[in-house]
Structure 1
Amino acid sequence: MSTASPHSQGSQSVAAGPKSHPRLEIRNIHRYFDGRAVVDDVSLQIQAGQVTCLLGPSGCGKSTTLRMIAGVEMQDSGEIYVDGKLICDTVFRVPPERREIGLMFQDFALFPHLSVADNVAFGLKGSKDEKRVRVEELLQKVSLTRFIDEYPHHLSGGEQQRVALARALAPRPRIMLMDEPFSGLDNRLRDGIRDETLTLLKEEDTAVLLVTHEPEEAMRMADEIALMRGGKIIQQGAPYNVYTRPSDKASVAFFSDINVLKSQVNGALAETPFGQFLAPGIADRTDVDIVFRP
């Protein structure tokens, strides 16, 4: 870390502006099931307009973390803040409906007996005319205005997903939680709908936490990736950095196939059939794995 030294000439001081809080912050969250830590000391910060992907294999604690942020499950310890205000610890708890948090899941969960317009307007407050204006605005953004009076079963899977997005955004949530929302779509549709969704969320300046087990999806969508394994966040950073500077062998293997050469260090060098590899700072006679991608 570099630090700036004070300027040697003059004594003018500049008052610092107000510190902006992260849109979402979770601090040292734990959750136990049958004495086992499913979420183990997880901390995250997400700014407004930022997309963070919680990436990891099935069963690593991603969805449990999402449910605690949403308020449908309580943490055993730790705190959750929105715009610097505490919304939940182990004593105080803002109910889910008052957290200004939107939810999107793999199952679009549209109401089959309601029209597209009524689905989108479901969580809105205000007069009938005010609701209609907001509904029309969002359906125009997702290119579904022509279906405003149709019912969900008349729509394709991709169209239903866009209705679910419009419904989740209608109340202008400060945070959007997304749990594998694109996994039910076929590959042909998925990329286009992911990009449309990302554009719309950024336009609304929403902080997004996207849960996925697909590295490609995280690399495509995220401003930051939090790689999770065994209930812990193993590594966190920009997608390029997480990919090119993995924290361990398992992290490399999660993003792609790997080749592994076993060797032993002598004189800061590891001998292999492909020649010598530098191994600075590793003691002689230490067994090492040399890992590279195809």
Structure 2
Amino acid sequence: MIENRRKKSLIALTMVSPFILVFATFFFYPMVEMVRISFTDSPLIGQGNFVGFANYAKLFSDRLFVTSLKNNGYFLLLTVIPTTVIALLIALAVGRLSGLKQTLAMCLFFVPYILPVSVVTEIWAWMLDLQFGILQPVISLLAGKPVAVFKNPYWVMPMVAVVTIWWTNGFNVLLFIAGLRNIPTELYEAASLDGATRWQSFWRVTWPLLWPVTTLVLTLQLILQLKIFDQIYLLSGGGPFNSSFVLLLQVYREAFQLNNGGYASAVATVLFLLIVIVSVLQFQLLRIRRAS
């Protein structure tokens, strides 16, 4: 029995060792180095002197950091809940289809997700171009005149949010569709026999059983949107007047443009801790909501 246990343990260790090796090499070690460098004044490449918490103390007086933090929070409000609601509505609509129609609808909503960010931003930059954009009539209808949305401090973050939702929502739709398919049809039949309306069936059957998937989607979206960088870098570069400047953009600026590796690591460490704390807190609150 002891030999069998040792053999099973050795087999298990052999199977998980590739993951442990990759995780330690590409995540754990860089994370430890990031935290270590954040306590120094080192450049991007090379050694630096130990400065303690000086980089972290500097964050509280850095107006750009405060602005970036506010912009990250604003972007969360624009994306996390809206994209979850939109994905749920699309999934409910697609779930009513069948056969080829359902397949085509799923492909239609998922295709943007497989596009690289450079292609997505180029498409939307063309559609929202001030002179030739095909969506400028819609902007004119809302604003009363054409607007260069990515150069306007009031329009830039909402439009980046629209681009992000259009680009990433296909994955959320698939998650909700998978959740809907796991709900037994017998429950709907029983609700129908009891005289429940469609809204009552959704509120009493679909929504409670779909809550774990909703929790997953909300948590994933929170993590992803806190790490926003690509769309803003390509569409607005953080402008105008830092109105779309976010934390990862500041990490990029400090590390690769100003060669302040220590300070960039401090900003990245704060962002990492923020993602961990907020995502865990949200996940636990949603679990409590489900249990109640």
**TM-score, normalization: structure 1?**
0.21
* Between structures 1 and 2, the one with greater helix share: 2
**TM-score, normalization: structure 2?**
0.21
Higher relative contact order (CA 8 A, sep 6+): 2
* Between structures 1 and 2, the one with greater strand share: 1
